[in-house]
Amino acid sequence: MKKLRKEKGPSKVSPRRGIVVVKKTTKKDREAGKKVLPNKAPSRKAPSLKKSLPRKVQPRKALPPRKAPPRKKVPPRKVYPRKKVQPRKAPPRKKVPPRPVPPRKKVPPRQVPPRKKVPPRKVYPRKKVQPRKAPPRKKVQPRKAPPRKKVPPRKAPPRKKVQPRKAPPRKKVSPRKAPPRKKVPPRKAPPKPEWPRLPERSQGAEAEVQASLLGLQGAIEAEGLGIGLTVQSFINRDGTVDGELRVDDLPDGWRVEGGGSLIVEFLSRVFQHWDAFPQRPEVGGAYWVSFGVRFGPRSEAELEQLERLYKKHRGLFQIGTYPVQGWGRGAVQLCLTDYKVGLRAMLDNMMDRRGMPPTSILIRVVWTPDGTRPGHYEGEK
């Protein structure tokens, strides 16, 4: 078989990289009579730049909006009256005669075959067996132990006589005399302060409490806020002294949400100019300071609004802090600004959560003759 030589057609040069592309002629082309051009050398010309430029895009023409074809009118569907159909009667049932029951066949009773007579079994008498005698035992003489050898007793060696050792004579030591003790005078108890009688001490403490509260009153009036102030003090039956400075007619900015911080700032600013009580006063005892706020209506319009809250909380509209030491400013400032247990936490709770505005601020000073911290009184809770 001879290998057919493939005829090559005209070559073309690609416009991109100048690669020669050769087109081969097929069998169909030759039968159709197409001319085959001779191969030419590929051209080495650079591709033209016109073909590589991007084609300009012509703007599209705005088409008119497409109108929907009109809908065909469909005539209403005719409703034909239904024909009255008479109820279908059930066909009468055919009378079926009762089925004859065939008579039962009489079955004769089954005869039991007679039992065979079995002769009784013979009982043979047993033979008498004499008891077997055991053989007589042999007498065994007891075994005698061999006689022991006599061993002479061992004699202990004679001990040497040791003379007793004499203890050396003790030196005579004269008894040591203890140095004479110094005579220490008996310790005297510190002289107790000669306090006057309790009523006289309470009167002196009340005068100091009034002087301190009046000084606070002057510092508050210097702020120029137009607030009502009243000072009151009294002596209890047990000798303690209570003094109270009441601040009424609070500004409107203190009676809304967030006004608790303004009240605390006002009190801390006032107590910077306050003369603290002495730690050991001349009258004895100790002074304690506490703060309270009373909530409620200021006018008849607010009285109607807070009537429901009065019934819900049974009229408990007053809060107060525990007494702190009255002889230091640091303890008073801590009681005012501490967010966990101080006055600011209670104000935020009552004003934000329950919506009750404050009406008056109470500054209370207590003097106790024995210096103990005052607690809750009966009915104060």
Backbone angles phi and psi of 68, in degrees to 5: -75, 140
pTM exceeds 0.85, yes or no: no
Q: How many residues does the chain have?
A: 381
Highest mean pLDDT: which range of 208-217, 223-232, 249-258, 342-351: 208-217
Q: How many CB atoms lie within 10 A of CB 321?
A: 19
Q: Note the pLDDT tens digit of each residue in 41-86.
A: 555 555 555 555 667 778 888 888 888 888 888 888 888 888 888 8
Rounded distance, CA 371 to CA 206, Å? Answer: 15
Of 293, 252, 249, 286, give the one whose Cα is nearest residue 366: 286
Helix 259-270 to helix 329-337 angle (10° resolution) is 180
Cα 297–chain centre separation: 39
Of 305, 287, 308, 300, give the one whose Cα is nearest residue 363: 287
Q: Hey, what are 337's tokens?
A: 């600004």
Q: Note the pLDDT tens digit of each residue in 10-34.
A: 444 444 454 444 556 677 777 776 6
Q: What is the pLDDT of residue 280?
A: 87
Q: Note the pLDDT tens digit of each residue in 163-195.
A: 888 888 888 888 888 888 888 888 877 776 666
Q: What is the pLDDT of residue 129?
A: 85
Q: Select the more confidently predicted residue: 314 or 249.
A: 249
Q: What is the pLDDT of residue 366?
A: 93
Q: Note the pLDDT tens digit of each residue in 85-102.
A: 888 888 888 888 988 888
Helices (H), the chain: 27-32, 198-221, 259-270, 300-305, 307-312, 329-337, 343-348
Q: How many CB atoms lie within 10 A of CB 324?
A: 19
AA identity, residue 19: I
The answer, yes or no, to whether residue 367 has pLDDT greater than 90, is yes
For every residue of 152-207, DSSP letters joined together read PPPPPPPPPP-PPPPPPPPPP-PPPPPPPPP-PPPPPPPPPP----HHHHHHHHHH
Stretch among 38-47, 302-311, 314-323 having the lowest mean pLDDT: 38-47
The answer, yes or no, to whether residue 265 has pLDDT greater than 70, is yes
